[in-house]
């Protein structure tokens, strides 16, 4: 356990698949992330435990599997009674700030953070609740479709760019404020961007970083219907891929824009790092960089996330604190469940028994655990029953009661093209892993809980849309009477306190 408390900067991005980053062998031009990777600890096999925005983030913040905290989908509420890493760090004496997206649903929009400097980009109500009772129904007003792919290209401003410009500016400003603050508490700031999440639209100068014709196309193109697993068939319906087949040029445009947006968000990360360094805080700050999930980006004819193929669930994880940890790559399996206990470890705290993850700092220090298992579960739209994943060694096992098992050996089949689940030579492995799923989870009980929650939330959402509307969306509070120069403040004090090098 770390005994000396470190300042902590958590930098999150959204929908960034590790295989696209140059630090993981991918084509994205990301000098700031590359710098973190060169000097930091790169976890080469890190996973999202639930590849959908809100469940992934709630598991990350609590260190608990999604089903245990009711984090089923993007309209699931994170209960105020569930402790997060922000609560734990705050009790340990940290000042805690959130800048950007965390996809909190419900009236509690802080969950332990002392302050939240921006609103969220997605709604805080129950409107995005799916229905497993009616799996063929498309909620067209919020379900993904392939417009993001068909309309991919260049624009100077989008909803997403407006948001991340705001997040980046507030993040830089917060670090400057910390540098000139009289508050001597250690701090934890989480700066969370929404890029490179779709829509696949990028600014011209980031688009121009890439040779369009050299943008790599999917390694595995659309598969024949007979070669698709049941969940992939459902996902194609959920995202509208069974109605729209993008052209090769549209696919390349989308991938080009995605890479360009990786470079866009990397520039903001670079500004955060420069600000830390300029104000002399870099040596005292541990930086954790990660994403909530990945993006299939056309692999296998699939887009976005919501499955356990590598591009959807494998995420970057980098810890940068050269004064404590030498630069290295860690192959031990890790996941977002490990973030909360790691942050507690950095603060000198023991994680509670309720957490399903563990601190990765021993791995950062050089230890290894080749048999470590990462669990995953997907309970959102596209599923009709819980989908479970176990990642251990070279193997990835995926199981759902209506779909049956899938087994991939990623060492010799990194593109997950050979499902060994029905290979007689792997029957004993499949049987053992199936039994392990039954020991770790109660699939029937979880399915019943999900459907009951979906029904309750749709009822509540329908009721709250009638009559007077009371928004749960976070409203950042800025007291203008205490900013800049006011007549109840001494000008000399204001100028002295707000000045930094």
Q: Of the listed 87, 103, 231, 293, which one is catalytic?
A: 103
Tokens of 249: 């040029």
Asked whether the beta carbons of 63 and 341 are under 8 A apart, the reply is yes
Euclidean distance between CA atoms 416 and 164, whole angstroms: 34
What is the DSSP code (8-state) at residue 318?
E
Asked whether the beta carbons of 51 and 60 are under 8 A apart, the reply is no
Grouping H, G, I as helix, E, B as strand and the rest as coil, residue 25 is coil
Considering only CA atoms, which of 230, 233, 242 is closest in space to residue 406? 230
Q: Sign of dihedral through CA atoms 35, 281, 276, 359?
A: positive
Express the helix, strand and coil content of the chain in percent, nearest 5 each. Answer: 35, 15, 50
For 223-254, give one letter per residue: b (16+ CB within 10 A) or e: eeeeebbebbebbbbbbbbeeeebeeebbbbb
Euclidean distance between CA atoms 370 and 433, whole angstroms: 17
- 328-330/115-116 β-pairing: unpaired
Q: What HEC string does 59-111 produce?
A: HHHHCCCHHHHCCCCCCCCCCCCCCCHHHHHHHCCCEEEEEECCCCCCCCCCC
Asked whether the beta carbons of 21 and 316 are under 8 A apart, the reply is yes
Residue 319 dihedral angles phi and psi, to the nearest 5°: -115, 125
Q: Is 137 one of the catalytic residues?
A: no
Q: Is 313 one of the catalytic residues?
A: no
What distance lies between CA 472 and its chain's CA centroid?
A: 22
Asked whether the beta carbons of 73 and 55 are under 8 A apart, the reply is yes
> Which residues, listed in sequence order, are joined to residue 391 by a DSSP beta bridge?
374, 396
Euclidean distance between CA atoms 100 and 495, whole angstroms: 28
The residues annotated with a catalytic role in the active site are: 53, 103
């Amino acid at each position: 356990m770390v005994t000396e408390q470190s300042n902590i900067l958590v930098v999150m991005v959204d929908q960034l698949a590790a295989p696209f980053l140059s630090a993981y062998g991918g084509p994205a031009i990301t000098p700031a992330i590359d710098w973190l990777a060169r000097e930091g600890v790169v976890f080469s096999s890190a996973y999202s435990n639930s590849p959908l925005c809100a469940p992934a983030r709630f598991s990350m913040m609590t260190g608990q599997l999604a089903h245990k905290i009711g984090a089923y989908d993007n309209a699931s509420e994170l209960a105020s009674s569930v402790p997060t890493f922000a609560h734990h760090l705050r009790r340990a004496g940290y000042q805690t700030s959130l800048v950007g997206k965390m996809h909190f649903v419900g009236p509690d929009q802080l969950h332990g953070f002392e302050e939240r400097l921006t609103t969220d980009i997605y709604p805080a109500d129950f409107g995005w609740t799916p229905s497993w009772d009616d799996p063929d129904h498309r909620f067209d007003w919020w379900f993904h479709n392939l417009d993001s792919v068909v309309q991919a290209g260049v624009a100077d401003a989008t909803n997403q760019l407006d948001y991340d410009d705001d997040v980046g500016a507030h993040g830089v400003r917060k670090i400057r404020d910390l540098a000139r603050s009289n508050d001597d508490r250690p701090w934890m700031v989480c700066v969370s961007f929404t890029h490179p999440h779709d829509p696949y639209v990028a600014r011209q100068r980031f688009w121009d970083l890439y040779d369009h014709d050299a943008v790599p196309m999917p390694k595995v193109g659309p598969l024949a219907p007979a070669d698709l697993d049941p969940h992939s068939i459902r996902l194609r319906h959920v995202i509208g891929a069974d109605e729209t087949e993008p052209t090769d040029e549209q696919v390349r445009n989308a991938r080009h824009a995605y890479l360009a947006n990786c470079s866009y968000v990397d520039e903001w990360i670079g500004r955060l790092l420069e600000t830390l360094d300029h104000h002399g805080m870099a040596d005292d700050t541990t930086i954790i960089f990660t994403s909530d999930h990945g993006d299939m980006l056309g692999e296998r004819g699939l887009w976005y996330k919501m499955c356990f193929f590598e591009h959807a669930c494998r995420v970057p994880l980098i810890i940068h604190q050269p004064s404590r940890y030498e630069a290295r790559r860690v192959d031990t399996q890790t996941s977002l469940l490990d973030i909360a206990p790691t942050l507690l470890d950095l603060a000198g705290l023991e994680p509670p028994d309720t957490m399903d993850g563990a601190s990765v700092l021993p791995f950062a220090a050089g230890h290894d655990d080749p048999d470590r298992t990462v669990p995953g579960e997907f309970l959102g739209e596209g599923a009709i029953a819980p989908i479970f994943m176990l990642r251990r060694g070279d193997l990835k096992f995926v199981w759902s009661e209506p779909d049956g098992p899938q087994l991939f050996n990623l060492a010799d089949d990194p593109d997950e093209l050979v499902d060994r689940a029905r290979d007689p030579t792997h029957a004993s492995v499949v049987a053992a892993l199936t039994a392990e799923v039954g020991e770790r989870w109660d699939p029937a009980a979880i399915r019943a809980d999900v459907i009951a929650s979906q029904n309750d939330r749709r009822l509540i959402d329908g009721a709250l849309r009638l009559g007077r509307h009371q928004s749960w969306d976070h409203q950042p509070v800025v007291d203008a009477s205490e900013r800049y120069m006011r007549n109840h403040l001494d000008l000399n004090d204001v100028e002295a306190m707000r000045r930094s090098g």
